[in-house]
């Protein structure tokens, strides 16, 4: 706190702690800064001087208020009121923790600046990123803080009564609440940045078989996507020059490169599949799909490769498939979710049909989207953008042929992107 006071170059003559918890802190700070301290009594003495403020002071001088935890700011205002009655000036408060429950706003109204060492948001960010508490717990805590905050509590403000809002599912999925949770994961931070910057939650599956055609398609639609999904093993002339051009396009248009490799083997083989062979996926793809069928060890292997600091930053676990008769039933999805919950540093989200979880830390990607057709006759099942996002609760739509085989892929990509993004935002 002493460092913060020096860093902010706060102007003060006296140090004053808010009774009682902050008094030892104020004493140490006053000693460290070699500044005089005043004490505000909670009650005026019934005997002797009957003064509320103890210490030696001159009117017109400045007090720096010290507090441990700021909730509503009420006890700070009480202290300041007593100091002002003595002709002292109070403009700055230093606290250890700002619980973000309306205190800053209340103090600001009185022309008082609050400087805090840490905020509740910073603490919760840290606890979630260090896996000390779950994202669900964080949301519960935030809802509790919000419901008891000064800003939201039923109070007569300007003659109007504000009502106390309760936590709704929408709050959990609100981008403000969700952003810091998603940003704990490097891949999701990247995807979210592109999504919000370009206003798109469209991933296009470019399932062409020659590199020239793929690059041309990406060049034309790159501005409307947050990710480009490829099946590298269907590209006849896949080579390093393709990787180089793809990487250049991804930087230029700002999208994530997604290799839909659907890894499903034992750990050692998976590591080799990611790093060797003609595809050496981890060198150019930012995200790869993984089947949960081999069980948790597959995720450890993917993590081993992610840790090597290649292009690969995360993986998507396949919770359910879009093909007719897929064996990925509710029980399978639930087990995939359990695997992901134990490996959040590897799993950034899911490939799913219906969102398998209400955990907003993950991103939910869904294939099987086509506005014009419901099947391709080969087992694929398509549904509308609205069903994919609103009904099924997904974040990102993966669209292939509806765009790539349309008369005008650029127009269709633009249209899918704007419709999907509007639905996502309004959810």
By the criterion CB under 6 A, which residues form the site for ligand 5BU? 205, 207, 231, 260, 318, 321-322, 351, 367-368, 370, 380, 398-402
Nearer to ligand 5BU, 167 or 231 (CB): 231
Strand spans (E) along 150-225: 156-157, 160-161, 202-205
Closest approach of ligand 5BU to the CB of residue 206, in Å: 9
Long-range contacts of 149-155 (CB under 8 A, 24+ apart): 149/100, 149/101, 149/102, 150/72, 150/73, 150/101, 150/102, 150/103, 150/105, 150/106, 151/101, 151/102, 151/105, 152/102
CA–CA distance, 23 with 40 (Å, rounded to integer): 10
**What is the smallest separation between the CB atom of 180 and ligand 5BU, expressed in angstroms?**
28
Q: Is 310 annotated as a binding residue?
A: no
Report the C-alpha dihedral over residues 373, 377, 378, 383, rounded to 10 degrees. 20
Annotated binding residue 400: yes
Distances (CA, A) of 369 to 134, 205, 287, 388: 32, 11, 20, 7
Nearer to ligand 5BU, 39 or 326 (CB): 326
Residue closer to ligand 5BU by CB (options 185, 366) is 366
How far is residue 195's CA from residue 395's CA, in Å, rounded to a whole number? 10
Active site amino acids: 260, 262, 265
Shortest distance (Å) from residue 76 CB to ligand 5BU: 55
Q: What's the min distance (Å) between Cβ of 229 and ligand 5BU?
A: 6
Residue 401, marked binder? yes
- Two tokens, residue 159: 């003659």
Closest-by-Cβ residue to ligand 5BU is 400
> Following DSSP, what letter does each residue of 122-151 receive, concatenated?
HHHHHHHHTTSS-HHHHHHHHHHHHHTSTT
Cβ closer to ligand 5BU: 22 or 363?
A: 363
Binding site as annotated, residues for substrate: 207, 229, 322, 380, 400-401
């Amino acid at each position: 706190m002493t460092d913060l006071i020096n860093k902010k170059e706060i102007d003060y003559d006296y140090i004053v702690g808010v009774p009682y918890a902050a008094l030892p802190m104020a004493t140490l700070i006053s000693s460290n800064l070699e500044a005089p301290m005043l004490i505000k009594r909670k009650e005026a003495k019934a005997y002797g001087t009957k003064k509320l403020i103890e210490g030696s002071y001159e009117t017109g001088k400045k007090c720096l208020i010290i507090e441990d935890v700021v909730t509503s700011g009420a006890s700070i205002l009480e202290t300041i009121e007593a100091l002002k009655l003595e002709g002292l000036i109070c403009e700055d408060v230093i606290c250890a923790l700002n619980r973000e429950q309306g205190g800053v706003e209340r103090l600001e109204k009185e022309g008082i600046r609050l400087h805090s060492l840490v905020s509740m948001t910073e603490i919760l960010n840290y606890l979630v990123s260090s896996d000390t508490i779950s994202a669900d717990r964080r949301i519960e805590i935030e809802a509790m803080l919000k419901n008891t905050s000064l800003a939201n509590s039923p109070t007569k403000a300007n003659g109007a009564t504000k009502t106390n809002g309760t936590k709704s599912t929408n709050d959990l999925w609100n981008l403000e609440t969700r952003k810091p949770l998603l940003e704990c994961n490097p891949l999701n931070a990247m995807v979210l940045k592109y999504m919000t910057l370009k206003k798109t939650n469209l991933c296009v599956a470019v399932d062409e078989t020659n590199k020239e055609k793929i690059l041309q398609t990406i060049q034309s639609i790159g501005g409307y996507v947050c990710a480009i999904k490829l099946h590298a093993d269907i590209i006849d002339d896949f080579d390093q020059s393709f990787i180089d051009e793809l990487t250049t396009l991804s930087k230029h248009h700002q999208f994530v490169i997604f290799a839909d490799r659907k890894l499903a083997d034992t750990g050692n083989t998976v590591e080799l599949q990611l790093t060797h062979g003609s595809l050496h996926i981890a060198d150019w793809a930012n995200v790869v799909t993984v089947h949960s069928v081999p069980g948790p060890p597959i995720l450890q292997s993917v993590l081993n490769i992610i840790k090597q600091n290649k292009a690969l930053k995360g993986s998507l676990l396949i919770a359910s498939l879009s093909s007719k008769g897929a064996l990925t039933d509710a029980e399978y999805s639930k087990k995939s979710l359990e695997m992901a919950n134990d490996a959040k540093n590897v799993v950034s989200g899911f490939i799913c049909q219906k969102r398998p979880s209400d955990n907003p830390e993950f991103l939910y990607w869904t294939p099987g989207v086509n506005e014009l057709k419901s099947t391709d006759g080969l087992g694929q099942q398509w549904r509308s953008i609205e069903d994919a996002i609103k009904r099924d609760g997904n974040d990102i739509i993966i669209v292939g042929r509806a765009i790539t085989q349309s008369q005008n892929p650029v127009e269709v990509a633009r249209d899918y992107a704007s419709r999907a993004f509007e639905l996502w935002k309004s959810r």
